[in-house]
A and B are shown apart, each in its own frame.
Chain A
């Protein structure tokens, strides 16, 4: 049932650098692509989400880029900060009686 492939599994970025996490999906019925952020000991929380009618969405330092033809989407974190160190999950969802599907996660460490 794993239909969303996420990479890399882990990422180390210097403070102030750009963090990039990629996801690819197979099911063309997906019409909702969120990213979740999880800190240790906490549940995942929605960070930013995009729908396929736009190719990019930006919220502060966080940007989703979406390529419908390639069936790929990515999260860019600009000016990465140590406080961004967390696990990030991409996901995909569709209308109808199907569950939200998650990628396996990326552990991001931002070092000073």
Chain B
């Protein structure tokens, strides 16, 4: 049972490049989330999904897009990376909004 798996674990991008972060969960959870974690800022919600085919904006959605075409996968896209998007990104999933969240191991992204 892998839980929540994030791909890749590390990535360095040049300003203006694009990339997609993949989150996969094998627990049949309905809800999936993307957070970014920066020093002193805690976990800030970027986008989330409450079911296959649905997405919604979180606290800091600008510069990011997401898709939930399959229930088990939640993709986070950066169309034109900026240095301000240098961060550690965490994916999480929950059965519902008021149940335990399971986190991935994180993706450390550096934009130069």
Contact = CB atoms under 8 A, between A and B. Distances in A.
Interface stretch (A11-19, A40-48, A61-69, A77-85): A40-48
B41 A100 contact: no
B104 A97 contact: no
A109 to B, nearest CB: 15
B62 interface: no
B33 interface: yes
A105 B43 contact: yes
A95 B98 contact: yes
Contact of A99 (B4, B97, B105, B106): B97
A26 interface: no
Interface residues of A, number: 31
B8 to A, nearest CB: 15
B76 to A, nearest CB: 15
A9 B41 CA distance: 10
Interface of B: 4, 31, 33, 35, 40-43, 45, 48, 50, 56, 58-59, 90, 92, 94, 96-101, 103-106
12 contacts: A32-B97, A43-B92, A43-B105, A93-B98, A97-B97, A98-B97, A99-B48, A99-B56, A99-B97, A104-B41, A105-B42, A105-B43
